[in-house]
Amino acid sequence: MEKMPGHPRLYRRGAVYWHRAAVPVDIADTYPKTEETFSLRTKDHRDALKLVRIEAARVDRLFDDHRRRMALQAQPPLDTLTDEQVKRIGEVYYAALLDEDDEVRNEAFEGRSFEEYVEDIDAFDTGTRHQFARGEVSSFYEDEVDEVLSWDNVALRLAEDAPCRRKLARELQAAAIRAYKAKRARNEGEPVETPAAPAVTPPPSTVKAPLEVRSSVSTTPPLSHLVKEWIAEKARTSWVPKTEHEHRVWMGHFIAVTGDRPWTEYGKAEARAFKAILMHLPANWNKFDDLKGLTIAEASAKAQELAMAPMSEKNLNKLLGYVGSLWTWAADHYDECPPNPFKGLKVKMKGRNVREERDPFTLDELKAIFRAPVYTGCKSVREWTSPGSLIPRDTGMFWVPLIGLFTGARSGEIIQLRVEEVRTEHGVLFFDINDDGEDKRLKTPHSKRNTPVHPVLIQLGLLDHVALRKRQGEQRLFPEMKMGADGYYSSPYSKHFRRFLEAVKVKHRKNAFHSFRHSFEDACRNSDISKEIMDALQGHGEEGMSGRYGRGFFLKKLAEAMARLRYEGLDLGHLRPDVPGQKCERASDQAAE
């Protein structure tokens, strides 16, 4: 890549101009990439200069947003919010919704018609009013709470178990209803001013005080100090923000249960006490109304009293592992480290109960999924639950479930695929699933594999989508699908797919996108595909399995097995683009109208 004159971030690869910027030193340890490099999609130098200035400003905003998120995560969480703060946050949200509306009108409804915009407002207003009247809070507004709290003019970190979370979500609903009313007035030609958003600051009294250190003759620092040192090192070297957050939260719960004393004084008694609490604690316990506002010990006792279902053995062991890993790290750093108090405390699983955690999709569920409006015609990409004329073939919304069905791949593995990773070797078309790149992750080292493309995906037009992305100069197969704040593409998508399953009325506690993985395993068995081949296709089993089955002759063997794979009773013929009467409108076609 050649450095070009005119702008410090302007480069050229071949004839095409690129933006390239190294991540600033102050955020290099936490930012998910080492640089922001992407094509400007032009061969004209003058156009490139204009575009690189625009993109440089956008990338600088990304850097600033990351700094803000990191600063917010470093804040001690708030126990509660005052009524005045809740009110002001609602005012901020109201102003933001009207500001978004201003942008849409200033751009003259680019990409859609005024009538469609009016219908969108009516639909969202009706849904929000319905929930608000019945005291319901949807997952959308629960997610909006954290989103709004992260904004620059709010910048507050609220404890996950804070009782006021529901109150704030209701306030956001109320603000949205007021905003929809204002938008309706604007739709009738009435001028409605967008107010300036107030700043929201926490009064000192709402901040959690640090845990009091017990008096002791020991000069060994308290556990909380060791936790800070441990997390700082791991966050710098290996953990993504989500992993850091989870370890910080559960170490905080452990200290709340056992006290914050010299870290060498903890033993089996403290570990057993914490395990006893977890044994009766439900998964996502702080989302239950009966448990909100309680300490973890109080919540465990209350859950036992109410006979609530506890978390799974797998989750229990995971949390014990979170806390116990501190002592594993400390043993490598301190001579005085005692034996790991959590060693041997994990509960024994009932065999390998992976299938008990998530069910495969039933045939009826698969039929419902692939007869959803996304696959038969929806109103728009935004209104994908409503019937219409759009089949969004150029989006991950359409392709990710289909690829999951015919590969057994995890959602993150699919979403992060690059255009160049749909490849051909030895006459075999395959997905090159890898973690090559700052934004890509795999669950295990041997998840790296080559998975042949099933013939049905080719019949449904996958190669047309690949060709489209190549013409557009895109690097990723699904560039519209963004990475979550935790560094994973799967996080935002899992929320979307849960809503998708709810919309087609097949959602239950034991199904999720991972159910495609189990469905694929069942289909392999029903198609007489050996376990060894199945493991190679899915990237699990013994280390090196995917290496042995990923190249040359063995890649052909995988393709032969994949060609035999069938889902008995599932007909996807209606999705073929060459079917007479098939509506082939794309999301990009709709946006261009």
- Tell me the CATH number at 493: 1.10.443.10
Whether residue 271 is found in the same domain as residue 342: yes
Whether residue 290 is found in the same domain as residue 399: no
Whether residue 98 is found in the same domain as residue 19: no
CB 438 within 8 Å of CB 33: yes
Whether residue 92 is found in the same domain as residue 8: no
Q: If we measure between CA atoms, which residue out of 530, 506, 571 comes closest to residue 361?
A: 506
Domain that holds residue 240: 223-349
Whether residue 196 is found in the same domain as residue 235: no
For the stretch 156-215, pLDDT in tens is 888 888 889 999 999 999 999 999 999 999 999 999 999 987 767 544 433 333 333 333
**3-state secondary structure (DSSP) of residue 415:** helix
CB atoms under 10 Å from CB of 283, counted, come to 12
Whether residue 227 is found in the same domain as residue 200: no
Annotate 323-357 with DSSP letters as a single string.
HHHHHHHHHHH-TTPPP-TTTT-SPPPSS--HHHH
Whether residue 335 is found in the same domain as residue 467: no
Whether residue 395 is found in the same domain as residue 445: yes
For residues 289 and 443, which has the higher predicted lDDT (pLDDT)?
A: 289
- The structural domain count of the chain equals 4
For the stretch 370-383, pLDDT in tens is 999 999 999 999 99
Cα 99 to the center of its chain, rounded Å: 26
Name residue 387's amino acid.
Answer: P
Q: Is residue 211 a part of any domain in this protein?
A: no
CB 300 within 8 Å of CB 273: no
Residue 251 in tokens: 């170490």
User: Which uninterrupted H or E stretch holds 457?
Assistant: helix 455-459
Edge-to-edge order in the sheet of strand 35-39: 2-3, 10-13, 16-22, 35-39
Whether residue 104 is found in the same domain as residue 242: no
Backbone φ/ψ region at 528: left (φ over 0), alpha (ψ -120 to 50), beta: left
Name residue 55's amino acid.
Answer: E
Q: If we measure between CA atoms, which residue out of 445, 486, 38 comes closest to residue 245?
A: 486
Edge-to-edge order in the sheet of strand 422-425: 422-425, 428-433, 449-452
Return the percentage of the chain with pLDDT > 90, whole number.
48
Question: How big is the chain, counted in residues?
Answer: 593
Q: Is residue 319 a part of any domain in this protein?
A: yes
What pLDDT, on the 0 to 100 scale, is given for residue 110?
75
Whether residue 87 is found in the same domain as residue 172: yes
In this prediction, residue 74 has a pLDDT band, given cuts at 50, 70 and 90, of low
Lowest mean pLDDT among 107-111, 517-521, 555-559: 107-111
Q: Is residue 531 a part of any domain in this protein?
A: yes
CB 550 within 8 Å of CB 537: no
Q: Is residue 217 a part of any domain in this protein?
A: no
Whether residue 331 is found in the same domain as residue 461: no
